[in-house]
Amino acid sequence: MGLETLKIDDFQLHASTMRRYGLGAHRGRLNIQAGLYDDDLYDGAWCAGRNDPLQWLEVDARRLTKFTGVITQGRSSLWSSDWVTSYKVLVSNDSHTWVTLKNGSQDLIFIGNKEKEIPVLNMFPVAVVARYIRVNPRSWFNRGSICMRVEILGCPMPDSQNYYHRRNEITTTDNLDFKHHSYKEMRHLMKVVNEKCPNITRIYNIGKSHSGQKLYAIEISDNPGEHERGEPEFRYTAGSHGNEVLGRELLLLLMQFMCQEYLSGSPRIRHLVHETRIHLLPSVNPDGYDKALEVGSELSGWSLGRWSQDGVDIHHNFPDLNSILWEAETKKWIPRKMLNHHVPIPEWYQSKNSTVAAETRALVSWMEKIPFVLGGNLQGGELVVTFPYDRTRSQGVSREQTPTPDDHVFRWLAFSYASTHRLMTDARRRVCHTEDFAKEDGTINGASWHTAAGSMNDFSYLHTNCFELSMYVGCDKFPHERELAEEWENNRESLLVFMEQVHRGIKGIVWDMQGRGIANAIIQVEGIGHDIRTAADGDYWRLLNPGEYSITVRAEGYSASSKVCEVGYDIGATRCDFTVSRTNLSRIKEIMERYNKQPIRQPLRLPVRQLQARRPGPRHRRVRTS
């Protein structure tokens, strides 16, 4: 019915008693997560004020509903062990007269939980129609208390006059495939889109999962399979946590939408396709997704399928380059011994014995191969956009604002997604779990939320040119199929607007005097301590906010060149090309290498005093005396 997805609002939840406000009826939602401490304002369940069989948790559906079942969990807590082991279910049409579900003439007792996290489903023998439903705990863990998280299964009865139904109803006009897709179905859908739009799409894979499933991506571009000089590369990935499936389905919907809109002549989509090379990777962790899909959206819980087949959290499985960079900065090695960008991967990480998932290795290779400029990875379980750094700089600190040199750019990129999402910046919306991100405009620095070493976002920023952010696109990690259309409406505009940000800042080509592009030239922006490099064709893209910037280009064997480039407020990167000449020394080296000549060895020239010291003194003849 929507306790987990927040379709049921707090005013529809009531309870007999509560231990305190943070454990009130409004916290009795399936999969709701607690804060770090047991006395947090936002705790992880409804907990009764007393432990006796007279307690209950009530849901007001606000209309006649056909109730079919109940799913329960215990309390989310690091410190307490509380769950209900059995319960009754009662229904009512007026909230005064209650009828207990029965098994013949006996009250029906449902078996509850055996631990606090795994959801337990109980279907009713016969569906019942009512407006109100209560769950009445009858027994509970003997070393705990009455605490529950609940989801109610049911379907609203048809009633076009119902005010609450009309107020909350969201429809879409897009003719898309709104369903959860298995691996085989996902592959088939990508093929259908490719056949429908063969001139702008290409399917390829970046590698394989631990169990051997291919990691399929689809490219959307006017010249699929080819990097066009001057055209930026963009990527969306999803499903690094296999149980966070909403992002996976959003990318499959985006793929269909862009194909349809391109064929219908949408100027916006045609411009995006012609000016950008877009890559969509819907399922980074197909093995984990299969585990979550097997039990279904309501029973997968908070973590089933999160990790790869070999137990690795893929999103945080990248090398920790932050520590390497920060140590070099502390020792003042930059730029003398080490650069502030393209931080190399440590040798230990690349060894076969390191704990690196097959999926992570495939991602790293993909990120190194293609000169991505901007990327977003879609996550689930919250409504917020996070940006680097994701790791706190201070040792032992779990939360701390840790900005990158490009903090202002990242904040704009994050806000571009959050502000165009239907819910992220809505101050009236209910908190998903414990954090009210709407107060922060729906964005947050990753490290100030919770520290995490080796994230995909930090790695992308420090090892490549790509600015990467995480979009947490919904409170429910695995929403019911019928909710996908609404989630698409929530995220559609944000997905498009964020892609368009790849055209913000400056772009250009670094040429030599013969008109050839120079690869690996360093692009420096005065005042920003993070450089980028040109791609193989000599082209580059540097994301920047509006303003004037002094740009310097350096390339090995060439003289440095500088100029001022201005970034406007309109979408469309400012063209800022450079032509650089060879240094005299590099020309001499080139000539000698070309003709296989060795450097002329010059005679050793010593100071005059040393020369005089080395000269033999005047010879004296011996005079014989008789």
pLDDT digits (tens, 9 = 90+) for 430-459: 888 888 888 889 999 999 999 999 999 999
Separation between Cα atoms, residue 483 and residue 493, nearest integer Å? 17
State residue 615's pLDDT score. Answer: 52
Average pLDDT, the chain: 91
Size of the chain, expressed as the number of residues it contains: 626
Per-residue pLDDT at 357 exceeds 80: yes
Residue 46 lies in a domain: yes
Question: At 33, which CATH number?
Answer: 2.60.120.260
3-class DSSP state for residue 214? strand
pLDDT, one tens digit per residue, over 206-238 is: 999 999 999 999 999 999 999 999 999 999 999
What's at 391, amino acid-wise? R
pLDDT, one tens digit per residue, over 267-288 is: 999 999 999 999 999 999 999 9
Residue 191 lies in a domain: yes
Separation between Cα atoms, residue 244 and residue 229, nearest integer Å? 36
Indicate whether 237 and 308 sit together in one domain: yes
Per-residue pLDDT at 572 exceeds 60: yes
Residue 131 lies in a domain: yes
Residue 621 lies in a domain: no
* DSSP for 445-497, written as a single string: EHHHH---TT-HHHHHHHHSS-EEEEEEEES-SS--GGGHHHHHHHHHHHHHH
R_g over Cα of the chain: 31
Q: Please say whether the beta carbons of 196 and 259 come within 8 A.
A: yes
Per-residue pLDDT at 36 exceeds 80: no
State residue 445's pLDDT score. Answer: 96
Indicate whether 384 and 479 sit together in one domain: yes
Indicate whether 485 and 515 sit together in one domain: no
State residue 166's pLDDT score. Answer: 46
Long-range residue pairs from 188-193, CB within 8 A, at least 24 positions apart, any chain: 189/252, 189/255, 189/256, 190/216, 190/218, 190/252, 190/255, 193/218, 193/255, 193/256, 193/259
Region 394-420: mean pLDDT is: 95
Indicate whether 424 and 544 sit together in one domain: no
Domain boundary among 454, 473, 502: 502
Q: Which two tokens stand for residue 202?
A: 């290409």
Region 520-525: mean pLDDT is: 97
Indicate whether 241 and 383 sit together in one domain: yes
3-class DSSP state for residue 379? strand
pLDDT, one tens digit per residue, over 463-521 is: 999 999 999 999 999 999 989 999 999 999 999 999 999 999 999 999 999 999 999 99
Indicate whether 24 and 145 sit together in one domain: yes
pLDDT, one tens digit per residue, over 13-31 is: 999 999 999 999 999 999 9
Residue 607 lies in a domain: no
- Give the DSSP H/E element, type plus range, for residue 278: strand 277-281
Indicate whether 415 and 289 sit together in one domain: yes
Nearest 10 degrees: Cα torsion 157, 161, 162, 164: 130
Indicate whether 27 and 61 sit together in one domain: yes
Region 140-149: mean pLDDT is: 94
Q: Please say whether the beta carbons of 137 and 148 come within 8 A.
A: yes
Per-residue pLDDT at 429 exceeds 90: no
Q: How confident is the model at residue 624 (pLDDT cuts 50, 70, 90)?
A: very low
State residue 625's pLDDT score. Answer: 43
Indicate whether 227 and 370 sit together in one domain: yes
Separation between Cα atoms, residue 386 and residue 437, nearest integer Å? 10
Q: How confident is the model at residue 203 (pLDDT cuts 50, 70, 90)?
A: very high
Domain boundary among 107, 140, 157: 157
State residue 161's pLDDT score. Answer: 61
Residue 162 lies in a domain: no
* 496 CB-contact burial (10 Å; exposed 0-12 / middle 13-18 / buried 19+): middle
In angstroms, the Cα distances linking 348 to 44, 282, 316, 341, 355 are 40, 30, 17, 20, 10
Task: Count Cβ neighbours within 10 Å for each residue of 273-288 and write b for 16 or more, e otherwise.
Answer: bebbbbbbbbbbbbbb
Q: Which domain holds residue 529?
A: 506-595
Q: How many domains does one find in the chain?
A: 3
pLDDT top residue among 35 and 603: 35
What's at 99, amino acid-wise? V
Q: Which two tokens stand for residue 46?
A: 């409804």
Region 326-339: mean pLDDT is: 93
Residue 163 lies in a domain: no
Region 325-331: mean pLDDT is: 95
Indicate whether 100 and 211 sit together in one domain: no
Indicate whether 459 and 535 sit together in one domain: no
Helix axis angle, 321-330 relative to 456-463, nearest 10°?
Answer: 50
Per-residue pLDDT at 51 exceeds 70: yes
- Which of 386-395, 500-509, 611-620 shows the lowest per-residue confidence on average (mean pLDDT)? 611-620
Residue 359 lies in a domain: no
State residue 611's pLDDT score. Answer: 44
Residues near 198 by beta carbon (within 8 Å), at least 6 away in sequence:
none
Question: At 565, which CATH number?
Answer: 2.60.40.1120
- Which of 159-168, 272-281, 331-340 shows the lowest per-residue confidence on average (mean pLDDT)? 159-168
What's at 565, amino acid-wise? C
Per-residue pLDDT at 610 exceeds 80: no
Indicate whether 244 and 370 sit together in one domain: yes
